[in-house]
Amino acid sequence: MKRIVSCIFTLSISLYFNQIIAQNTKPAIQDSTLERSGLSADFNNNLDSLLNLWYVQQSVDSANLTAKMEFDSTAPLVNIPDSVYTKRLSKINSFIELPYNSIVKSFISMYTQNKKDVVGVMMGLTDYYFPLFEETLDLYQLPQELRFLPMIESALNPRAVSRAGATGLWQFMYGTGRMYKLTINSYVDERRDPIASTHAAARYLKDLYSIYKDWTLVIAAYNCGPGNVNKAIRRAGGKKNYWDIYYYLPRETRGYVPAFIAAIYTYNYYKEYNIKPQMVNIPQTSDTLMISHMLHLQQVSEVLGIPISLLRDLNPQYKLDVIPAKDRAFSLKIPLDAVGPFIDKEKEIYSYKDSIYFNPRNSINPTKFTSSYQYDVPAGSIKYEYKVQSGDNLGFISERLGVTVSQLRSWNNLYSNMIRLNQRLVVYVSPRIATQLGIITPTKTAQKVEAGYVVHTVKPGDTLWTIARQYPGVSGEDIIKINNLKSDRVYPGQTLKIKAKT
């Protein structure tokens, strides 16, 4: 069936090409006649996915950096002769052509000068992801240079989500992901699975190459879809060179191939710009176990002592920390040195607080985990109206108020990071933040607690289950029931009533 669908897809595109008519209304792009005026806007349009990064061990919302890193077209650029760029690009052993022009130069300047800190983080992530990409691309007999696409698409963040809903390292849209057999449901999104998504991307790229027979056009089509590339070819009078159809491509795609070339350049010459790769806390050696029963990542974390954040980074496809292995087996990636202990303590792991993690009361509502997901109001939080001031951005506001950019967008029905001066934003802050802002006084945060109970103030890094362990005889379910919590989420500064055990 898959082969039939692929053949139909290819045939349809071929028929479309047969209908291309000659209408050459705009000249091919020339280095000496590049339109410089629109470059800054092109950069900003392309930065959305590029700067969605640095999730590793930071618990930073991916959009924070996007909001803080607008391209500064007025910033001075180091004046390097064009001959140097041309010579360096020619030395790179690349199967895909790497031409040089003013647009490519502008992207190189952005990566190597304006965004050195961001590129440093991305360079650190290549140590973990590139070997995986290279192995898969080799399996499908594809050019190794394609491993740079996720740098442009997601900045190597498997949790990256674009405004249009494209998700994961390779930024698959829902329909394309399902077409290439990726599982997407309330529990699992294999678009975020580094291995599954890379195999799907390789198959997609191979299908695109069977249509265009040109890797530059394939790269453009991967970004904006074959339909937009076909329209650009038609409007360019049937020409099938990227630079000939440049002006006919969607504006956000025009910089995509130059960004790709610039990324390869930066990867090869980062030392010349004093860019230092940032080390990330993902173990280089890990192993995969197949799980055939329902399992919560917290069970593995608690029994084996592996930080939950590390398990999430190794297994980003599990949206709720749950491996829903009911009717099929799912993979679990853990550090290599934890494989033996997992096998030895397997029964203990599965039984650990099983009644809490899989209590029907805590079952998910599938409608909450779609692209239109609305963040719940945190239990114990206080509503606050923030007035946008000069120089503000969502990243700054979220950091100051102790929330995430995604929460801010959700609570205020924002579809981008754009905000305006004097705009009022609804924010649900913790009692601690509310006290700092002067919304409430410390005395107002104290709870009247009847005899036999104590008050626990949630600290950063606390979970319901780690709190319960501090009080003998108290379970996470007890805390949920006593405090009338709607979920197992807790927040720094939140106060919880704990029943003292005698």
How far is the C-alpha of 278 from the C-alpha of 117, rounded, in Å?
Answer: 9
Backbone phi, then psi, for 93, in 5-degree steps?
-80, 90
Torsion of CA 118, 124, 127, 133, to 10 degrees: -20
* Alpha helical stretches, state H, 39-169: 39-50, 62-68, 82-91, 102-109, 116-139, 149-153
Q: What is the 3-state secondary structure (H, E, C) of 169-180?
A: CCCECHHHHHHC
pTM: 0.62
Per-residue pLDDT of the chain (502 residues; tens, 9 = 90+): 444 444 444 444 443 433 332 333 343 444 433 444 354 444 444 443 343 333 333 333 333 222 233 333 444 456 788 899 999 999 999 999 999 998 899 899 888 988 888 888 889 899 899 999 999 999 999 999 999 999 988 889 898 887 778 899 999 998 999 999 999 998 999 999 999 999 999 999 999 999 999 999 999 999 988 999 999 999 999 999 999 999 999 887 888 899 999 999 999 999 999 998 887 777 778 899 999 999 999 999 999 998 888 899 899 999 989 999 888 899 999 999 999 999 999 999 988 876 677 765 554 444 333 333 344 566 567 788 888 888 788 877 887 888 877 778 778 777 667 788 888 888 888 777 777 676 654 444 334 445 567 778 777 667 777 787 777 778 878 888 888 887 777 776 678 888 766 4
pLDDT at position 213, please?
93
DSSP string, 248-285: GS-HHHHTHHHHHHHHHHHHHHGGGGT--PPP-S--S-
- Residue 149 has a CB neighbour count (10 Å cut-off) of 21
Distance CA 348, CA 346 (A): 5
Closest CA to 108 of 262, 245, 249, 247: 262
Go through the domains of the chain in sequence order and give each one's CATH number: 41-273 (1.10.530.10), 286-359 (no CATH), 382-442 (3.10.350.10), 447-499 (3.10.350.10)
Q: Of the candidates 21, 3, 16, which has an alpha carbon nearest to the alpha carbon of residue 211?
A: 16
In the three-class reduction of DSSP (H, G, I as helix; E, B as strand; rest coil), residue 182 is classed as: coil
The length of the chain, given as a count of residues = 502
Each residue's pLDDT tens digit, 179-216: 999 999 989 999 999 999 999 999 999 999 999 999 99
Q: Which DSSP symbol is given to 167?
A: B
CA torsion 412-418-423-424 (nearest 10°) is 30
